[in-house]
Chain A
């Protein structure tokens, strides 16, 4: 039967191909949306680990997580170093890592922080940051690079770089007099850390020392660094601080007392909650797209059945010849069902290949824009379920023309 079926399909190859492609495309749509969303979610979730709370100016919690962890968006407010120093004294805190954001180096974000950043900040289930080369900065003129920065810009330990005040949008604000030296390069993490440049807070302050009212007043190479009192190199404001608590159970008491801190309007954000909120919102959009995709799939299936029914008229002649030669009506209706099955399977295989291609490009795009690297997989159990449902629906609906054929041919005069 198979060779007869294939030859029959080949004689109707154009409409059959169009219907198959339409079915394939709608499945690719459904699956790609799901995969991209999952990949992004996974990547985001793996970007931070072990941080119990993030202290920042009182604003949207999601925003704070986005710019401190993912370097998406920019901080609009600051908190004072004094407040952080005060909070440092608390009993329930195990460690605290302050950060300052706002500068960049050739499109990569600069994160100013203390050297304990590399000890406490982890990713993907408690994996520590490790250096592939060199060491953590120990001097204010040293920087540590994320893996992608070093790779894309061809830097090695010892390379000298400049840092721009602000983002690249203000390209005129360059500090062309002072060069920082790369002291170490981090191993790849698959998180936004790969795309960041790390600098000591004192070095960050130094960067801005020559600037008053947004204008460069003096050049750093004309000043003897040793004449600057050490205290002056401590930044007065910070963007945020990552906190690890001694006992996670005290988390809510901690966030409450930060919220009630009398001297400054700050709050403590729990990363897990902010991310969970993000995924709720994204999830709604995702469900909307999914519904749309299913509708398109249903339409494609209807098109397939319509095509088969329409072709039955043309195939009357073919079917009668089979019948006269001994084919049973079951054979004939079987051909119809197998045709639907065949179209379905071809569409599914095509969809798997196309989805893999789409996923590949999407993940590399996610990687280059956000620094996250979700895992690539050929097919997941949920997707097998989806394909089975579609195949089943296609075969079940082909029963309509199959029954039509069966009844027509059951008792017929041969002509």
Chain B
């Protein structure tokens, strides 16, 4: 009987996917990597005391848009780790060979899309990765290459190649903290 319970337990383990658990500090470091994608000073034009009027001014909004397109060329060839969510673009069998990585879940559906410098094309063609649902957080490790800033050709914006992807699992504490932070 004990052997059977043990065997069932093993079955259960192997059926569930493995995800890495990270500490809060490490996660914060990863999240801050997203800001590295913005070139230094891109948002300097935002005044300290931003008035509501300025905030709604179309010129200001246009500047925000433009800032969102600016790429940080110093990142070319660098290795980076980013946490985010997967939007599959290309499949290989039941795995995903190309996907877009966005910082927040649901950004392609009902929440405003991220700026262009906060979206990356992840190329995992050499080793296609498991499909994850849109709301499952992942970490992508890889090498960044910086393409054209005009976004009118295929090789635009940020691309990550040689990607290694892992599913992220929050320990209960981290998850609860996140929720509290978001409610601030």
Contact = CB atoms under 8 A, between A and B. Distances in A.
Task: Please say whether the chains A and B touch (CB closer than 8 A).
Answer: yes
Interface of A: 38, 41-42, 45-46, 49-50, 52, 91-92, 94, 125-126, 246-253, 255-256, 270, 272-273, 275-277, 279-280, 290, 294, 298, 301-302, 385, 389, 392-393, 396-397, 399-400
A250 B151 contact: yes
Interface stretch (B24-32, B48-56, B91-99, B169-177): B91-99
Nearest to A50: B90
Nearest to B7: A393
A252 B121 CA distance: 12
Interface residues of B, number: 46
A401 to B, nearest CB: 12
B132 to A, nearest CB: 8
A399 B121 CA distance: 54
Contacts of A298: 4, 8
Given A52-B89, A92-B152, A280 B7 contact: no
A42 B46 CA distance: 48
Given A125-B97, A248-B100, A252-B108, 12 more contacts: A38-B94, A246-B156, A247-B153, A247-B156, A249-B119, A249-B120, A250-B156, A279-B94, A294-B11, A301-B4, A396-B6, A396-B7
Contacts of A389: 7, 10-11, 14
B108 A251 contact: yes
| Most interface-central of A46, A249, A256, A298 (chain B CB within 10 A) | A249
A61 to B, nearest CB: 9
A252 B102 contact: yes
B151 A45 contact: no
Leading 3 A-B pairs by shortest Cβ distance:
A252-B113, A272-B88, A396-B3
B152 A46 contact: no
Contacts of A42: 93-94
A246 to B, nearest CB: 5
Interface of B: 1, 3-4, 6-8, 10-11, 14-15, 87-94, 96-100, 102, 107-109, 112-114, 116, 119-121, 131, 133-134, 148, 151-158
The interface residues of chain B, by DSSP majority, are classed as mixed
18 contacts: A45-B92, A91-B152, A246-B152, A246-B154, A247-B151, A247-B153, A248-B89, A249-B120, A253-B116, A255-B108, A256-B112, A273-B88, A273-B108, A275-B88, A277-B133, A277-B134, A385-B14, A389-B14
Contacts of A52: 89
Contacts of A273: 87-88, 108-109, 134
A385 B119 CA distance: 38
B87 A270 contact: yes
B3 to A, nearest CB: 4
A248 B1 CA distance: 56
Contacts of A255: 108, 113
Q: Which of A248, A253, A255 has the most CB of B within 10 A?
A: A248
A179 B4 CA distance: 68
Contacts of B92: 45, 125
Contacts of A94: 154
A153 B178 CA distance: 61
Given A252-B113, A272-B87, A273-B108, A247 B3 contact: no
Nearest to B157: A249
B113 A253 contact: yes
A279 B155 CA distance: 30
Nearest to B92: A125
A45 B91 contact: yes
A248 B158 CA distance: 10
A92 B151 CA distance: 8
B121 A392 contact: no
B152 A251 contact: no
A277 B4 CA distance: 36
Nearest to B8: A298
Contacts of B96: 272
Contacts of A256: 112-113
B134 A249 contact: no
A290 B87 CA distance: 27
Contact of A125 (B90, B94, B112): B90
Given A246-B152, A250-B116, A253-B113, A276 B134 contact: yes
Nearest to A295: B8
Contact of A249 (B11, B107, B121, B133): B121
B130 to A, nearest CB: 11
B108 A246 contact: no
Contacts of B121: 248-249
Q: Which of B91, B98, B131, B133 has the most CB of A within 10 A?
A: B91
Contact of A41 (B94, B109, B119, B153): B94
B103 to A, nearest CB: 12
A396 B90 contact: no
